[in-house]
Amino acid sequence: DTGVSQNPRHKITKRGQNVTFRCDPISEHNRLYWYRQTLGQGPEFLTYFQNEAQLEKSRLLSDRFSAERPKGSFSTLEIQRTEQGDSAMYLCASSYQSVLNTEAFFGQGTRLTVV
Amino acid sequence: GNSVTQMEGPVTLSEEAFLTINCTYTATGYPSLFWYVQYPGEGLQLLLKATKADDKGSNKGFEATYRKETTSFHLEKGSVQVSDSAVYFCALTLFGNEKLTFGTGTRLTIIP
């Protein structure tokens, strides 16, 4: 297993277009998280899944954002009608939920630039 | 709400210097505390963690002690190397919900 994989690594899009990012977690991990990181800031939580169920969404996740994890494996994050303010690094992380283990493993991120 | 406040950066030190990066937190309940590191061009990696008061996390010569009385989790290393140059993030989670709340990050540069 090579860890958490995110594709694409970079995406440049015009304002108003839709974009979709993919995250492949570590294979036995049942939890998957999406975060957004803007320049000079720490990552901010967007949403997370346990298996295929989306359990929590941040207020940051406007109705233009949607995330899915249809079979409890990979996940997609779609942004509709992109705005310049959506430009950021989008990070995916996965973990195996248990009583003892709370470590999340991060992918390298997808950098989105909206022009 | 929950929040993490980190020492402002950037921090520049000479090789073999002593490092401290301050981190304080506010949380409802009893958080687990983490330090993550982001090396240039790489993803976030867990550096160390502590899950209860007075625990000390350690890894790669770095240490941090969970201080409940001062709500702090300061990162220390006795002798830094050029390879420690990276951005360091302090973070917390609450039991039962492992979403991370991060600080703003501290960029560390070590010069030979």
Residues of chain A with Cβ-Cβ distance to B88 below 8 Å are none
For residue B40, what is the nearest residue in chain A, using CA coordinates? A108
pLDDT-wise least confident of A61-70, A86-95, B44-53, B87-96? B87-96
- Confidence bin at B1 (pLDDT 50/70/90): confident
| Sequence-ordered list of residues with C-beta below 8 angstroms from that of B90, at least 6 positions apart, any chain | B4, B6, B21, B23, B25, B33, B34, B35, B73, B75, B102, B103
Cβ neighbours, 10 Å, residue A81: 10
For residue A98, what is the nearest residue in chain B, using CA coordinates? B96
Closest CA to A89 of A28, A21, A2, A17: A21
Q: How far apart are CA A96 and CA A99, in angstroms?
A: 10
Give the percent of chain B with pLDDT over 70. 98
Query: Taking chain A (115 residues) in consecutive chunks of 10 residues, what is each chunk's mean pLDDT?
Result: 90 98 94 94 94 91 93 94 96 83 86 97
- pLDDT in the model for residue B96: 66
Option in A42, A95, A107 nearest B89 (CB) = A42
Option in B6, B36, B100 nearest A45 (CB) = B100
pLDDT-wise least confident of A36-40, A81-85, B13-17, B18-22? A36-40
- Position B99 pLDDT exceeds 90: no
- pLDDT in the model for residue B43: 87
Q: How far apart are CA A83 and CA B92, in angstroms?
A: 30
